[in-house]
Protein backbone atom coordinates (compact mmCIF):
# COMPACT_ATOMS: atom_id res chain seq x y z
CA UNK A 1 0.00 0.00 0.00
CA UNK A 2 3.02 2.29 0.13
CA UNK A 3 2.48 3.24 -3.53
CA UNK A 4 -0.67 5.16 -2.56
CA UNK A 5 1.11 7.42 -0.03
CA UNK A 6 1.69 10.09 -2.69
CA UNK A 7 -1.83 9.93 -4.14
CA UNK A 8 -4.90 11.89 -3.06
CA UNK A 9 -7.53 10.03 -1.03
CA UNK A 10 -10.22 9.40 -3.66
CA UNK A 11 -7.68 8.04 -6.14
CA UNK A 12 -5.87 6.00 -3.46
CA UNK A 13 -9.09 4.23 -2.41
CA UNK A 14 -9.45 3.02 -6.00
CA UNK A 15 -6.01 1.41 -5.84
CA UNK A 16 -6.80 -0.78 -2.82
CA UNK A 17 -8.43 -4.02 -4.09
CA UNK A 18 -10.46 -4.66 -0.91
CA UNK A 19 -12.05 -1.18 -1.28
CA UNK A 20 -13.30 -1.58 -4.86
CA UNK A 21 -16.99 -1.30 -3.87
CA UNK A 22 -16.27 1.91 -1.94
CA UNK A 23 -14.26 3.23 -4.92
CA UNK A 24 -17.27 2.58 -7.15
CA UNK A 25 -19.47 4.39 -4.62
CA UNK A 26 -17.12 7.38 -4.60
CA UNK A 27 -17.42 7.64 -8.38
CA UNK A 28 -21.22 7.22 -8.41
CA UNK A 29 -21.80 9.69 -5.56
CA UNK A 30 -19.53 12.37 -7.01
CA UNK A 31 -17.33 12.35 -3.88
CA UNK A 32 -14.10 11.09 -5.48
CA UNK A 33 -13.05 14.57 -6.62
CA UNK A 34 -14.06 16.10 -3.29
CA UNK A 35 -11.86 13.61 -1.42
CA UNK A 36 -9.01 14.11 -3.90
CA UNK A 37 -9.05 17.87 -3.27
CA UNK A 38 -9.80 17.75 0.49
CA UNK A 39 -7.15 19.05 2.84
CA UNK A 40 -6.27 16.54 5.56
CA UNK A 41 -9.12 14.11 6.16
CA UNK A 42 -9.52 10.70 7.75
CA UNK A 43 -11.58 8.06 5.98
CA UNK A 44 -13.10 5.06 7.73
CA UNK A 45 -13.33 2.94 4.60
CA UNK A 46 -15.73 -0.04 4.61
CA UNK A 47 -14.13 -3.02 2.87
CA UNK A 48 -15.89 -5.04 0.17
CA UNK A 49 -17.16 -7.59 2.74
CA UNK A 50 -18.84 -4.74 4.64
CA UNK A 51 -20.80 -3.72 1.55
CA UNK A 52 -21.54 -7.36 0.69
CA UNK A 53 -23.13 -7.85 4.13
CA UNK A 54 -25.88 -5.42 3.07
CA UNK A 55 -28.67 -7.47 1.44
CA UNK A 56 -28.18 -7.43 -2.35
CA UNK A 57 -31.43 -5.61 -3.18
CA UNK A 58 -30.76 -2.85 -0.61
CA UNK A 59 -27.12 -2.55 -1.74
CA UNK A 60 -28.17 -2.23 -5.38
CA UNK A 61 -30.72 0.43 -4.49
CA UNK A 62 -28.12 2.33 -2.44
CA UNK A 63 -25.52 2.27 -5.23
CA UNK A 64 -28.09 3.75 -7.64
CA UNK A 65 -29.16 6.59 -5.31
CA UNK A 66 -26.51 9.32 -5.68
CA UNK A 67 -27.74 11.48 -2.76
CA UNK A 68 -28.15 8.62 -0.28
CA UNK A 69 -24.80 7.16 -1.32
CA UNK A 70 -23.08 10.54 -0.84
CA UNK A 71 -24.72 10.93 2.58
CA UNK A 72 -23.57 7.49 3.75
CA UNK A 73 -20.03 7.75 2.34
CA UNK A 74 -19.50 11.27 3.73
CA UNK A 75 -20.53 9.86 7.14
CA UNK A 76 -17.28 7.84 6.96
CA UNK A 77 -15.06 10.94 6.54
CA UNK A 78 -13.81 13.29 9.27
CA UNK A 79 -11.64 16.40 9.07
CA UNK A 80 -7.96 16.14 9.92
CA UNK A 81 -5.53 13.27 9.68
CA UNK A 82 -6.39 11.35 12.84
CA UNK A 83 -3.64 9.17 14.31
CA UNK A 84 -4.31 5.82 16.01
CA UNK A 85 -3.46 7.41 19.40
CA UNK A 86 -6.13 10.09 18.80
CA UNK A 87 -8.72 7.37 18.14
CA UNK A 88 -8.57 5.73 21.55
CA UNK A 89 -11.87 7.18 22.66
CA UNK A 90 -14.16 10.01 21.87
CA UNK A 91 -16.42 11.43 19.23
CA UNK A 92 -15.52 12.67 15.76
CA UNK A 93 -17.67 14.98 13.63
CA UNK A 94 -18.21 13.66 10.11
CA UNK A 95 -18.29 15.44 6.77
CA UNK A 96 -21.98 14.43 6.63
CA UNK A 97 -22.64 16.29 9.90
CA UNK A 98 -23.12 13.30 12.20
CA UNK A 99 -20.84 11.90 14.87
CA UNK A 100 -18.77 8.74 15.08
CA UNK A 101 -17.85 7.14 18.41
CA UNK A 102 -14.35 5.68 18.54
CA UNK A 103 -12.95 3.48 21.29
CA UNK A 104 -10.30 0.89 21.97
CA UNK A 105 -6.64 0.65 21.09
CA UNK A 106 -4.37 -1.25 18.74
CA UNK A 107 -6.06 -4.37 17.40
CA UNK A 108 -9.31 -3.62 19.29
CA UNK A 109 -10.17 -0.27 17.78
CA UNK A 110 -13.82 0.31 16.86
CA UNK A 111 -15.73 3.08 15.11
CA UNK A 112 -19.40 2.96 16.15
CA UNK A 113 -19.89 -0.82 15.92
CA UNK A 114 -17.34 -1.45 13.16
CA UNK A 115 -13.94 -2.99 13.82
CA UNK A 116 -10.86 -1.38 12.30
CA UNK A 117 -9.22 -4.21 10.32
CA UNK A 118 -6.34 -2.16 8.91
CA UNK A 119 -5.38 1.28 10.12
CA UNK A 120 -3.25 4.32 9.58
CA UNK A 121 -2.85 3.96 5.78
CA UNK A 122 -1.38 7.27 4.57
CA UNK A 123 -2.25 9.08 1.33
CA UNK A 124 -1.09 12.54 0.27
CA UNK A 125 -4.08 14.22 1.94
CA UNK A 126 -5.71 11.58 4.15
CA UNK A 127 -5.34 8.74 6.59
CA UNK A 128 -7.42 5.65 5.79
CA UNK A 129 -8.71 3.12 8.30
CA UNK A 130 -10.31 0.05 6.71
CA UNK A 131 -13.38 -1.10 8.67
CA UNK A 132 -15.58 -4.22 8.53
CA UNK A 133 -19.04 -2.54 8.41
CA UNK A 134 -20.82 0.19 6.51
CA UNK A 135 -21.72 2.87 9.05
CA UNK A 136 -25.23 4.31 8.79
CA UNK A 137 -25.95 7.90 9.86
CA UNK A 138 -28.84 8.47 12.28
pLDDT digits (tens, 9 = 90+) for 46-98: 999 999 999 999 999 999 999 999 999 999 999 999 988 888 879 999 999 99
Would you call 54 helix, strand, or coil by DSSP? coil
CB atoms within 10 A of CB 58: 9
The radius of gyration of the chain from alpha carbons, rounded to an integer in Å, stands at 14
Q: Are 124 and 8 in contact (CB under 8 A)?
A: yes
Superfamily of domain 2-131: FAS1 domain (2.30.180.10)
Choose among 80, 89, 81: nearest CA to 111: 89
Confidence class of residue 135 from pLDDT cuts 50, 70 and 90?
very high
Task: Determine the pLDDT at residue 84.
Answer: 86
pLDDT in tens, 25-46: 999 999 999 999 999 999 999 9
Amino acid sequence: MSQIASEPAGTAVGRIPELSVLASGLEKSGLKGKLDSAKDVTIFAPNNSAFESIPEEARKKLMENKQELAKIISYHVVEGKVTPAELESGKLKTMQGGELTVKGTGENLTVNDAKVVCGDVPTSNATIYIIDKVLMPQ
